[in-house]
Structure 1
């Protein structure tokens, strides 16, 4: 399997900027230098119109200077309560890596939502013991980029030393720790707090976006795989969750971003209390196991029919899913869920969102010959939201 990059794009809203540059969750498309090597971090901005190869707008030019900060192997104390997370995505088509933080000795783990989003299985390794566990998603908040996992069969785990971000100031020393690049060993990247209360906007290929606010900005070289890992203060206490990194065109980190631990724990507490609302979801969604065609948004063309078929055209079916076991195939058109007509992929998604894994529901579809079928299926567990 290949390690998949987390490739969602973010933009930074900075005071005085006329436009924005591009950054990624956890430096997701970049690999950190191996422990013992140096990471170069820009500490003084280049001219806005020249920075990072993007259109930053116009402004006064400034000389760019850099400082080199060593990325080293994390110490035992820095690894306390830290876990590596490897997720299987696309039903076994690839893997992605991230980091997490142990909240309880019984195996509740805090990480970023984007670390587990789209995953169909999750393996977590406690770095203090080397033991690995299967993990389930307790709940997620895409809006806040927070997820809580439960390790199966875990007990007696060391927990992270929790601090607070409330007293942080610009210039304070911090260290980002994480599974950088999914390389052997865990990297510790020292830096300083360069700004507070920062805002970034994340967007995916569809043009939809999420905005994260109140973030800590740091010069620590946060890199691919660090997402969900701890940002530690000078006393080794957890003050933030590594989340995003801005890079220059050579791939070097010029700014890292972390969610303040106080906010992250507040969201985690709501998840663990069972909150299920507009910003927090419990568990994983119900899963039918079909990939919809783009044409399904408009009804979809059913072969051997003289007009567009009302419903959602299936472009693919996941092997051994509820849809597969019911006999649905590519080219079929789903017309109803639970007796309620669906005319678009959005309506199909909404109909399934009302149900839980394990629920039984009647699916009605039309095959390529125009013949209608109805079968009752048991919905499975879908990829994490």
Structure 2
């Protein structure tokens, strides 16, 4: 499925400095909608940088030729899916990749592929069949998400390595994914350049930054849309999950993958069904607002969902949310964290200051929010 049929995929301009970007593609659904940036295209712009050296065992020779991506082989496509997420509240869609973990439709991908999603469509590239998917759980700090395909059975699973700790600098690897959000899997070959890398990744606007550690660094041409896709070793086993890329006009391609054993560890925690500060299950409760920081005074309402819980309670654009159930809100992140812990259908007391500065309060019932 091509995500560009309503609005052409528009890569961001090439930055002058190296950038680490998240590898999901985002496109505007409505021409009249506010501009939605392309998230972490490999040649995108933004302040994310590699700021951790990591460990390097051995080194690659200089001026190594990096092959151009080509079509993924039939073997490389087994158990791999393309993902299109609808971001209703942003009037956008994003595209990425995933790996089938079970015959009944459990799928591993990056959290940023489905972050903000209100609907997810997944296509099994082995059969061409598409499925609606629900979010089982996410680990935003680890950039891992688990999906469940509705009505799926008898699916062929991705071939995960039992242990990727045998990966060495200089090993040949291949990243496979939905490059550019075209709906066609491509393969990008390269070599392992370093291990145990730490990066700070961001979208093209320098927002939604995340700190990731323990990554595999490769010099393959892995690009936007490849997020959540497999990094294969020479034996055809998946040793990592493609996650971020850094590119510059003057630099060779550089991409980063989460070691597959690390991703599987997070999957097991999600499958345990125990929600924690780092593991979020299902969809969060949603107040129906978009917010920004208000200099420590709370979360300023920048946008409002028409007919949503906040609007029904009398909250308006320009209001500042100051507390939820008596817990002080000091920022947009604080409000998000408080609501993430609550299920849809939960009633909470929200306190806010209206545009005239008057303190107000009301009990609201949260609706189902987008994936976080």
TM-score calculated relative to the size of structure 1: 0.75
Is the Cα–Cα contact under 8 Å of residues 292 and 331 in structure 2 kept in the other structure? no
Distance 1:240 1:291 in 2: 34
User: What is the CA distance between 1:339 and its match in structure 2?
Assistant: 5.7
User: What is the CA distance between 1:65 and its match in structure 2?
Assistant: 2.7
Is the Cα–Cα contact under 8 Å of residues 360 and 377 in structure 1 kept in the other structure? yes
User: What is the CA distance between 1:167 and its match in structure 2?
Assistant: 1.6
Pairing 1:381–2:335 present: no
What residue is the counterpart of 1:75 in the other structure?
Answer: 73
Higher RCO (CA-CA < 8 Å; seq separation 6+): 2
Query: Kindly tell me: are residues 175 and 329 of structure 1, through their superposed partners in 2, closer, same or farther at Cα, counting changes over 3 Å?
Result: same
What residue is the counterpart of 2:20 in the other structure?
Answer: 23
Distance 1:176 1:65 in 2: 20
What residue is the counterpart of 2:3 in the other structure?
Answer: none
Distance 2:217 2:292 in 1: 40
Distance 2:318 2:367 in 1: 22
Q: What RMSD, in angstroms, separates the aligned Cα atoms of the two structures?
A: 3.3
Is the Cα–Cα contact under 8 Å of residues 42 and 222 in structure 2 kept in the other structure? no
Q: Structure 1: which 5+ residue stretches go unaligned?
A: 8-19, 32-53, 57-62, 300-310
Pairing 1:159–2:157 present: yes
Distance 2:106 2:371 in 1: 17
What residue is the counterpart of 1:39 in the other structure?
Answer: none
Q: Deviations over 1:19-60 (max 9, x none)?
A: x942222383148xxxxxxxxxxxxxxxxxxxxxx999xxxx
Distance 2:277 2:50 in 1: 34
Distance 2:337 2:197 in 1: 34
Is the Cα–Cα contact under 8 Å of residues 297 and 345 in structure 1 kept in the other structure? no
Q: Deviations over 1:225-269 (max 9, x none)?
A: 00100011112111111112221227x852221111111111111
What residue is the counterpart of 1:360 in the other structure?
Answer: 347
Q: Structure 2: which 5+ residue stretches go unaligned?
A: 1-5, 25-39, 44-48, 52-60
User: What is the CA distance between 1:220 and its match in structure 2?
Assistant: 1.8
What residue is the counterpart of 2:32 in the other structure?
Answer: none
Pairing 1:238–2:235 present: no
What residue is the counterpart of 1:302 in the other structure?
Answer: none
What residue is the counterpart of 1:263 in the other structure?
Answer: 262
- In structure 1, the residue corresponding to 2:253 is in which secondary structure? strand
Q: Runs (4+) of structure 1 moved beyond 6 Å?
A: 3-7, 369-373
TM-score calculated relative to the size of structure 2: 0.78
- In structure 1, the residue corresponding to 2:142 is in which secondary structure? coil
User: What is the CA distance between 1:350 and its match in structure 2?
Assistant: 4.7
User: What is the CA distance between 1:73 and its match in structure 2?
Assistant: 0.9
Query: Kindly tell me: are residues 75 and 110 of structure 1, through their superposed partners in 2, closer, same or farther at Cα, counting changes over 3 Å?
Result: same
Greater Cα offset, 203-212 or 315-324: 203-212
Pairing 1:323–2:310 present: yes
